[in-house]
Structure 1
Amino acid sequence: MSKDLITYLTGGDLRSIAKVEELLPLVRTQSDFDELFKFLYSKDRLIVMRTADALEKLTTQNPRFLFGHKEDILHFIDTARDKEFKWHLSSMVSRLKLTNDELQRVWKELTKWAKDKRESRIVRVHSIQSLFDLAKQDTELQRDLKKTAVALKKENIPSIQARLRILGM
């Protein structure tokens, strides 16, 4: 990459995305993506959040970029604590090709995030969307998601209600 990536990821606070939109067109190859991905290991919450934002946006159109990073994503699903990271992770993990064991592991964690009233609403909504996407692979998961949706509807939270409605649940 021609410019130092860090310049696109720093500055401001957690409410801003800095220069992530300017960074996106510069990431054209797997090598560029891999270089950016390394910033998920930063100790700086701001850099991790912005990196995750960029990676999520890039993999919407190019999910193949993630394939070599499956183990990292699964590790982060198990260890992430910051809400800004979790909501991006929940979207990215649904773009991976998972084994049955990996799918069960991810399903358990995303269901926990979706049901946890202490989680931010955006994490919960993104988790619900990812559960819906993952449930397309397995009828048993579809049944489990329906049970989760019934429980979530009882909370009467507008953002969660809206997502469930959009998903036809």
Structure 2
Amino acid sequence: MDIREVLSGGDLRSVGHVDEVVAYVGNDPDRFNELRTGLTDDRPVVRMRSADAIEKVTRRHPKLLQAHQASLFEQLQIATQQEVRWHLAQLMPRLMWTEDEAADIVHVLTDWIDTETSAIVIVNALQAMFDLSAVYPRFRFELKALLETQLETGSPAVKSRAKKLLHKL
């Protein structure tokens, strides 16, 4: 199976054959490696669906991310496509980071929250920061301020998540 070709076709409003790819990849590191290369494909639809499939595969098999930690960290810093960003945000808390790396991630996510128009990206960035702050408490103060701001200015979906996360904080 050529994973990138299976994920191609159609447009950004459909998930295409992501579920087939998730089942095909399973817990296989070689297949996962092939899937991960889709994040840098020239076609936005392949990048989006690859990110979606990676997120779904690693819900069950988070250890598959470890070998790709450096490249995912790099993708986080250069990704501009909102559909890729929202899945990258979901992936970051599934990995073990040094405190400095976590600070870099929080910086990127904060920038997304300040500049992104996609409510999904903002919600997932807030959730990722919340999850990271459970491991790295130093980010809680910054997170609390962001959540309070989003409670005032965010879209309805963002306000809803901000309220939930503030309650848990």
Gaps of 5+ in 1: none
Task: Provide the rounded CA distance (Å) in 2 between the counterparts of 1:49 and 1:68.
Answer: 21
The TM-score with structure 1 as length reference comes to: 0.93
Q: Cα–Cα, structure 1 residues 18 and 156, in superposed 2: closer, same or farther, change >3 Å?
A: closer
1:108-159 deviation digits (Å, cap 9, x = unpaired):
010111232x431111011011011000012221111111111111105210
Structure 1 residue corresponding to 2:155, chosen from 146, 154, 157? 157
Q: Is the Cα–Cα contact under 8 Å of residues 115 and 148 in structure 1 kept in the other structure?
A: no
Letter in 2 for 1:53: D
Q: Cα–Cα, structure 1 residues 10 and 77, in superposed 2: closer, same or farther, change >3 Å?
A: same
Task: Provide the rounded CA distance (Å) in 1 between the counterparts of 2:162 and 2:89.
Answer: 16
CA RMSD of aligned residues (A): 1.3
Task: Provide the rounded CA distance (Å) in 2 between the counterparts of 1:21 and 1:47.
Answer: 14
SS at match of 1:136: helix
Q: Is the Cα–Cα contact under 8 Å of residues 89 and 124 in structure 2 kept in the other structure?
A: yes
SS at match of 1:33: helix
Partner of 2:46: 47
Q: Is the Cα–Cα contact under 8 Å of residues 90 and 110 in structure 1 kept in the other structure?
A: yes
Q: Cα–Cα, structure 1 residues 31 and 123, in superposed 2: closer, same or farther, change >3 Å?
A: same
Task: Provide the rounded CA distance (Å) in 1 between the counterparts of 2:137 and 2:80.
Answer: 30
Partner of 1:105: 104
How many equivalent pairs are there? 166
Structure holding more helix per residue: 2
SS at match of 1:106: helix
My pick for the range that moved more, 32-41 or 46-55, is 32-41
Residue 85 of structure 1: how far off its partner (Å): 0.7
Structure 2 residue corresponding to 1:124, chosen from 118, 122, 146? 122
Gaps of 5+ in 2: none
